[in-house]
Amino acid sequence: MILKQHLLLTLYSFCGILLKAAATKNKVKGGQGQFPIAQNVTVTEGGTANLTCRVDHNDNTSLQWSNPAQQTLYFGDKKALRDNRIELVRASWHELSISISDVTLSDEGQYTCSLFTMPVKTAKAFLTVLGVPEKPQITGYSKAAREGDKITLTCMTSGSKPAADIRWFRNEKEIKGAKEVNASGKTFTVKSTLQLLVDRNDDGVAYTCRVDHISLNSSPQQATQFVEVHYAPLVEITHSLIFPQEGQYLKLECVSKGNPSPDPVLWTKDGQDLPDLDRMIVDGRELTITSLNKTDNGTYRCEASNNLGKSSAEYNLYVYDPNALNEQNGPDHAVIGGVVAVVVFVTLCLIIVLGRYLARHKGTYLTNEAKGAEDAPDADTAIINAEGNQANAEEKKEYFI
């Protein structure tokens, strides 16, 4: 039935061309400039594709759209193929636009717009259908791992066209995986593997596989796998006082980390059970001594264990006498006296060095008249010697031959 209708429409179109041939003989030259124009279209699988064919100059010649199998979809405003997904958008002498809803991968291909002039002119439009990747799944992890185990996480998605990209994230930080792509008909199956040597730092970490694809716009699909790692406990003791004093309140906490959780913990003192005192209270991981005294001195030990091992930590308690601690923290007069003595000594040394420096630079300046009298025993002799020197100076003569 569809083929018969297609043949009738084709015959109708050719008849229309023959009837108009005589009336358009004088317009043939003008008709040579008539060319349809169509553009390629890209649509996501399941979306709607709009195919538009335009011609700027048309002398009432019909336009037609055909699919990749050369089946006529629309001839002018007349529908030729019975497909409820195909609808007419606009039909005129200058434009023929149709839409294809709920597009599938089989709709992809080259569509032809024909203008029935003599000869027939055509324009091609390629419809590209993007395959949407399925939501990814992570496999390879089924139960908690032990510290030091090797595990492999595999993320896979199928149905993408073109092939999707897979990225791995450890919490928020991107890490590298090994990617593999396999074709399945027109679509691709993509998987990526991540090999891990886990330790206690991986316990509770979220490993996320994210699929990026052009069909997803800015909303990538992803899957997340939380990893559980079992490991032996690690213990440390925290305390509420730096210098415990008699009469004070002291709290010790046994901070233990392990999976499975190492509960309960065991407190001992000097290798023995804790003394049966009202002042010592154990509440879970905490040991509280309400009023310290010298008898509490000793080594306190906290031990935690699970099925993978055990760990312990120690705290050496020494209870100070408040009076002795205050004296010890008071000013040290001997130290202060030593500091003062050093300052005085340094000051004296500076004074001596400065005095010698000034003495060396103090000059005794003699006039020419006194130069010859500096060894005289008295003032009169000094004057006489000075005059003699002047006389001797005058007697010095030079002769040139």
pTM value surpassing 0.85: no
pLDDT tens digits for range 328-350: 555 555 566 677 778 888 888 88
Question: How does pLDDT run across 156-207, given as a tens digit for each residue?
Answer: 999 999 999 999 999 989 999 999 999 989 999 999 999 999 999 999 999 9
Quick: pLDDT tens for 307-318: 999 999 999 999
pLDDT (0 to 100) of residue 86: 96
Whether 30 shows a pLDDT value over 70: the answer reads: no
pLDDT over 60 at 229, yes or no: yes
Mean pLDDT of 148-158: 96
Residue-wise burial string across 145-158, b where 16 or more C-beta atoms lie within 10 A, e elsewhere: bebeeebebbbbbb
Q: What pLDDT, in 10s, does the model give residues 338-393?
A: 777 788 888 888 888 887 777 776 544 444 444 445 555 555 555 555 544 444 44
Q: Which helix (H) or strand (E) holds 28?
A: helix 28-31
Residue 73 contacts residue 65 (beta carbons within 8 Å): yes
Question: Has residue 214 got a pLDDT over 90?
Answer: yes
% of the chain residues with pLDDT over 70: 78
In the DSSP assignment, the letter for residue 291 is: S
d(CA 24, CA 31): 9
Which residues, 6 or more positions from 287, have their beta carbon under 8 angstroms from its beta carbon? Answer: 251, 252, 253, 254, 267, 274, 280, 281, 300, 302
Do 38 and 125 contact (CB within 8 A), yes or no? yes
Cβ atoms < 10 Å from Cβ of 297: 14
Question: CA Rg, the chain, in Å?
Answer: 53
Banded model confidence at residue 71, pLDDT cuts 50, 70, 90: very high
pLDDT at 269 over 60: yes
Measured CA to CA, the distance from residue 262 to residue 238 in angstroms comes to: 17
